[in-house]
Structure formats: C-alpha cells, structure tokens
Chains A and B, each alone.
Chain A
Amino acid sequence: MLAVGGCVSSKGPYAGAKAGEELKRSGDEIMVAGQLFHTGTRVVLWTDEHGYDAYRVEKRFGPYDKSSWQATTQPGNAAAAAEAAKWFPNRYSMRSKGLTPEQIEMVRGGGWTLPMLQDHIDQFVIHYDVAGVSQTCFRVLQDMRNLSVHFMLDVDGTIYQTLDLKERAWQATIANDRSVGIEIANMGSYTVRESPLPLQQWYKKDEKTGEVTLTIPERLHGGGVLTPNFVGHPARNEIISGMVQGRIQRQYDFTPEQYAALTKLTATLCTVFPKIKCDYPKDENGKLINHALSPEQFAAYEGVLGHYHVQQNKSDPGPAFQWDRVIDGARELMGQQAAVATANTTK
C-alpha cells in the first residue's frame, strides 16, 4: 500500500489506513497548534520518550515522593509556606493579549488554530541557558524557577520542544506574548569582572593539539545528552570576546551541531510564521545591534532576536553567537524550499 503516513489516501479521508497502523513520524517534527511540521533535524517532543514536558505540574527531578504539587506546596515551616504560596502549578499561560472575548473563550483550553497563531507570533528569541546541557536547563526552569521555554537545544544538536508554540512560555518578559523562545545549551558569557571559572570547568584544551573540547562535569553523569558518547567542540576553538550591552564579554562558541539544528529550526519557524522575518536586529549600517532595543524599536521589530535585544539586564546569546551563520543558512534553506514549491506549482 502506497498511501501511508504523510501522503493522502485516494479513498477518502479515513479509508487509507488500517485501525492500529502507525502514522510514522520522522522524528524531526515540531508541533504548532497541534499540527506537525518537519524541520529536517532531530526533535524530541514533550510527548515523546526522552522528552521534557513543561505542561506537567510535578517537579521532574529530585526525590519522586517530594515532586507532587501537594508535596511542594505543603512545607513544614512558615517561611517555606510563604515561599510556596508564590508558586503556580503552571509554568506557562495563555497568549491572551489582543484577543476578543470570543477568541479567549475559544483558545482558553488550548484551542488555537494555526491561522490565529500565525497572526500573533512575530518574534523568535534566542537564549543561552547557562546550564550547559538541556537536562539541567529543564531542571532549572521546571523545578527551581517556575519558568518555561518552547525549545531547548542541547550540545549534540538535539532540539527538545517542551510546549506547543501556542502556549505563552515564560522566557523573555515583554516578548512572551508574541514570541517563541529557545534556550541553547551553553555556559554563557562573562565580563572581565566576573570569574570565568564556569568556562574553565566546561572547556578543556588538549595540551598537544590545542583543541578545545566541551567537558560536561562528572557530577552530571553525561548530562542526559541523547547522542551516545557525544564529544562536543565549540565552533571556534578560542574564547570569543565581544561587546554586549556595552560591556566586553567572554564566551565559548556554540557547537557546529547546535548551529546546524538552529539553522533548520529558524528556517522552519520563519516559514510557518510569516511574521517572523528571517533577520536579526540591525543598525542603519546593517550591523548587528549589540544591546537592548529601544521600546519603539522593540515594538516594531518582527524577526529573530537575542534575549539581550529584549531586556537590558540580559547578555544572551552572548558575543560568540554567529547571527549571519544562522540567518544566512536559514535563508538558503527557505530559498531551496521556495524553489521546490515553485517547481511543483509550475509543473
């Protein structure tokens, strides 16, 4: 039988498949308003084996018998109780800004249609996680900080989606209503006044070859990286220094695997969401803006941007992030795709 999986059956909407037959996924799909879109790179959904699910109320790590909502909100003393009272069982909420009461009634249980969402989303916010690996990133967001993000990108290039993009993840303050966010696994950037100890812990230089290798601290037991025996290297071998928010910052670059995956995800998002322009914030000379946008600039901006473009108190994704590599690569992929589409329509 030829009409399987993504292809349509010729015998009507439900006649193509036998009950119990699997709709095969490629393992590269993201979910947007319940629809699956290929990215061309490995994606683990929150619904999948190995996934991280930000819809859940429980803590993901730590003792299981202390992970439930009841256990986390019934602490033994008054101080802890006051702290717990600030907690919400949710790490996400509704993109309610600008919706009519009728639309709110429709989407409050998650009922976003793709066209409605396409109308709402116009930014893709890039973060580094200062957690080093995505497993730790999820632990920090879910278990400790009551925050969330749609995507995490691990050192081996595995993308984790933790929420449908219809949800308002708690990742970038004033951008949450209109954006999709990603946390890229990386130990972050440090000013000259800050200790670069995390960089020394996470990156080791081979004495003979001089090659820098990403070294996940032993206490993390491999850090949950999905690729067996993965050995990561920063895309550039040396510490990168650069100005962000008017301060010189030092950082190791992301891995080539992360750039490859992010490029494909960016192309996917910029295609699925026409309002996200495949570009980054540039000044009048076409150069990257390396500080927070003004309120007017931010309000008008539609495209890919860094967390530091949103907020003055943030430096991510840092001076090492190669904006042109991601944007040019994504545009190339989108161009190829447009060419395929044109070829097929003109056939």
Chain B
Amino acid sequence: MRLAGMILACAAGAAVAMSAVGCRHQNAEAGMAAVAPAQPLKRTGDEIVVAGHYFHTGSPVVLWTDPGGYDAYRVERRFVPIDVADWNHSKDKLESPNRYGLRYMLNGKPILTPEQLEMVRGGAWPLELLQEKVDQFVIHYDVDALSRNCFRTLHDARDLSVQFMLDIDGTIYQTLDCKERAWQATKANSRSVGIEIANIGSYSINQSTAPLAEWYGKDEFGRTRITIPARFKDGGVRTPGFIGYPFYPHMIVGEIQGRKQRQYDFTPEQYRALAHLTATLCTVFPKIKCDYPRDENGKLIRHALSDDQYNAYQGILGHYHVQTDKSDPGPAFQWDLVVDTAREMMMQPK
C-alpha cells in the first residue's frame, strides 16, 4: 500500500513533467501542474522543520505534527487527567499558556526591526532571516532519562520547552519549529536551538548516586544496561523492546564547573542520531560552526564561558557553557565523537 503510493507519486510526476528531475520540482508552478490532487508528498521520516522547510537528517525524527510526537505548541498539559488538562485547570500551576516565545530580544536589545517583528510575530519567519539569528546549538541532558518523561517535566510541570529531545533509542523528537524561541537555556534562548538528551545526569561526590543505581544495572552477560524503572513501563521508547547500553560500561568521572561529577555515558544510538542532527543544523544554519568551546590549547572548556567568550561564541556548546549553575551534558559527553562525525558527514559529497 505504502510502496504503491510512492511509486504512483513518482510515476505521476514523471509522466506529466518529463523534464523534472525525479519528483523534485524546480519551481512551484511547474510542481503544481505536475501533481494530481491528493498525491502524498512522501517524507522519509528523517526530516526536521526549520521555518516551515523540511530538511533530511539521515536519522529517524518524529515531528510534533506526527502521530507519536510531542507538541510543545499546545496549551493543554499532556499527561495529567484529561479533565484537568485545559488552561482553566492549569493556570494556577503554570505561569503562561505558552512554553515558547519570539526570537525578538537578545541581551536586552531587539534583534528585529519593527518591520521584521510585524512579519514574524505570528510565526511567518523566512528561512534567511532565521539563519541570521541562530548561531548556537545547546546540548542538555534531561535528568528524566526518557524523552516522554522529559516532555512531561517541561510541558506539564515547568512551563518550559526545547526544540529537540533525543531518546535512549536514538529517536529524535522535534517539539517546535526551530524558528521558535524555546525556553531551554536562559540567555541563549534567542540565538540558539537546544536538545535534551535522555540521560539521568551527573552527580558530584557530595550527591547521592541513587538515580544512577536505579537507572543502570547489568544484563545477563554482565554488561551495563539502562534499566527503566517498572513504574514507567516501556518508557514510551519508540523502538519496541529496546535495551539501551551506555557507550562505555563503566561510570565516567570528570570535572565540570570545577567539581568532580559521575555519570553514565549516552547510548551509541544517541551519538549516531546527534551526529546526524548536528551535521544538519550546522549545514542549515551557517553561523553554527561545527565545533565546541576550546581553550587556547584546543582542549574542551569544562566550565561556563565568560560573558565575552559567550557573546562571541558561535557553534555547539553545553548548557554548562551558558550557565554556571548547570552541569549538562556532563563529563561523559563525547564532544569529539559528535563533532568529528558530523564534520565527516558534512564533507561527504551529495
């Protein structure tokens, strides 16, 4: 059924527009003439949405508009009982019916002209204008360990949002168009796109590691695996029967913000998907350089950037580079693996 539809779409397009390349239409007029009503525009299921444009990533993405997606545009709370989910029953728990805003003010100054503001206040961003404004990609861990729980925390409890969530099986969820100002990283919100990677987080020596003990155990072969607590059932993970293994089996210890932190690494599936998404974002947004914050010796900076450093920085960075009170994505995060893989993808010919 699905295959037949795709063949039909291609055949119909080719039959009418002989000179068209495949199903890609050079201009809107030609494209419209070539296609009969109700032919599907087949998506691959790997697309993100930026200012209404669809870009392939090469890795599975569930959009907020898709079945099974998480939609941060909605006013209602997603998981509380349905009869108390609406705004009237939520307004004493949440400050705002929105969890996102407009990329308008940065460091107390408007970044849009009055004409631009009037054009985009309802969401109608031209891609080119957005490309001028977005120059950072902020990496978080979610301390919820599952994207479903992450969305519950952001949307139902904290009145916050993030453009992307990355679940333990490597599924990327996009919850808002990248044009929106998600509420994810304080002063970076107006200039950045953010991602929350499912991971229970890092813990300093003074903190209990009970969450790590709860979320990680051993499989029958003695390998370290993610153990979703029974109260979360399957955790909403999209891959049926998925068992997640951290990239390294041992606990990673490293210094962030001047404190030793302990954490289990992310899954290989997460690294693979994140590399694809990073390559995509660094391609779509030319101002996001495919690199991370480095010191004069080229080493990862392991604490918040100074104001001057931060203001000048254009690229990928951790939440802890933005704010001194944050540790994510933690000491386990493999910056080189992500950035080097993404760079390789970007260098491959089309």
The interface of chain A, by Cβ under 8 A from chain B, is: 1-9, 13-29, 31, 33-42, 45-53, 55-58, 60, 64, 67, 69-70, 88-90, 104-105, 108-113, 164, 264-265, 267-268, 271-272, 333-334, 336-337, 340-341, 344-345
Contact = CB atoms under 8 A, between A and B. Distances in A.
B67 A111 contact: yes
A334 B21 contact: no
Interface of A is mostly: loop
Contacts of B227: none
Interface of B: 3-4, 6-13, 15, 21-25, 28, 31-47, 49, 51-60, 63-71, 73-76, 78, 82, 85, 87, 96-98, 117-118, 121-127, 177, 276-277, 279-284, 342, 345-346, 348, 350
Contacts of B13: 6
A52 B119 CA distance: 11
B57 A19 contact: yes
Contacts of B32: 26-28, 38-42
Contacts of B73: 55-56
Contact of B31 (A21, A28, A67): A28
A42 B28 contact: yes
B60 A14 contact: yes
A44 B69 CA distance: 23
The residue in B49, B64, B67, B350 that gathers the most chain A C-beta atoms within 10 A of its C-beta is: B67
18 contacts: A14-B59, A17-B56, A19-B58, A19-B283, A24-B25, A25-B53, A49-B125, A64-B117, A110-B65, A110-B74, A112-B67, A164-B65, A271-B37, A333-B37, A334-B37, A340-B8, A340-B12, A341-B8
Given A6-B23, A34-B63, A39 B280 contact: no
Contacts of A19: 56-58, 276-277, 279-280, 283, 342, 345-346
Nearest to A337: B36
Given A56-B122, A57-B97, A7 B42 contact: yes
B10 to A, nearest CB: 5
B280 A25 contact: no
Contact of A337 (B37, B68, B345): B37
Contacts of A9: 44
A14 B58 contact: yes
B52 A28 contact: no
Contacts of A113: 67
A134 to B, nearest CB: 13
Contacts, number: 250
The residue in A3, A33, A38, A333 that gathers the most chain B C-beta atoms within 10 A of its C-beta is: A38
B41 to A, nearest CB: 4
A51 B123 contact: yes
Given A40-B37, A60-B122, A108-B76, A18 B350 contact: yes
Contacts of A5: 22-25, 41
A139 B126 CA distance: 21
Given A14-B46, A51-B52, A268 B38 contact: yes
A49 B127 contact: yes
Given A20-B284, A49-B124, A37 B36 contact: no
B11 A344 contact: yes
Contacts of B126: 49
B22 to A, nearest CB: 5
A20 B177 CA distance: 15
Closest 5 CB pairs of A and B: A20-B283, A26-B31, A271-B38, A17-B56, A89-B97
A70 B64 CA distance: 25
The residue in A31, A89, A340 that gathers the most chain B C-beta atoms within 10 A of its C-beta is: A89
A88 B124 CA distance: 23
A70 B97 CA distance: 9
Contact of A51 (B40, B65, B124): B124
B52 A47 contact: yes
A108 B41 contact: no
Contact of B6 (A8, A22, A39, A333): A8
A70 B98 CA distance: 10
Contacts of A55: 73-74
A70 B163 CA distance: 23
A45 B52 CA distance: 8
Contact of A23 (B56, B67, B76): B56
A52 B42 CA distance: 24
A76 to B, nearest CB: 20
A20 B37 CA distance: 28
A62 to B, nearest CB: 10
A64 B113 CA distance: 13
B67 A89 contact: no
B270 to A, nearest CB: 16
B28 A27 contact: yes
A233 B336 CA distance: 62
Nearest to B6: A8
Nearest to A6: B23
B42 A8 contact: yes
A341 B7 CA distance: 10
A38 B60 CA distance: 23
A319 to B, nearest CB: 27
A4 B14 CA distance: 13
A49 B350 CA distance: 27
B68 to A, nearest CB: 6
Given A19-B58, A337-B37, A34 B69 contact: yes
A146 to B, nearest CB: 13
A238 B13 CA distance: 40
A1 B24 CA distance: 11
Contact of A69 (B12, B46, B68, B98): B98
A41 B42 CA distance: 18
Contacts of B49: 47
B255 to A, nearest CB: 32
B84 to A, nearest CB: 12
B14 to A, nearest CB: 9
A9 B66 CA distance: 21
Nearest to B130: A49
B335 to A, nearest CB: 18
B65 A53 contact: no
Contacts of B276: 19
A5 B42 CA distance: 7
A121 B10 CA distance: 28
A344 B14 CA distance: 12
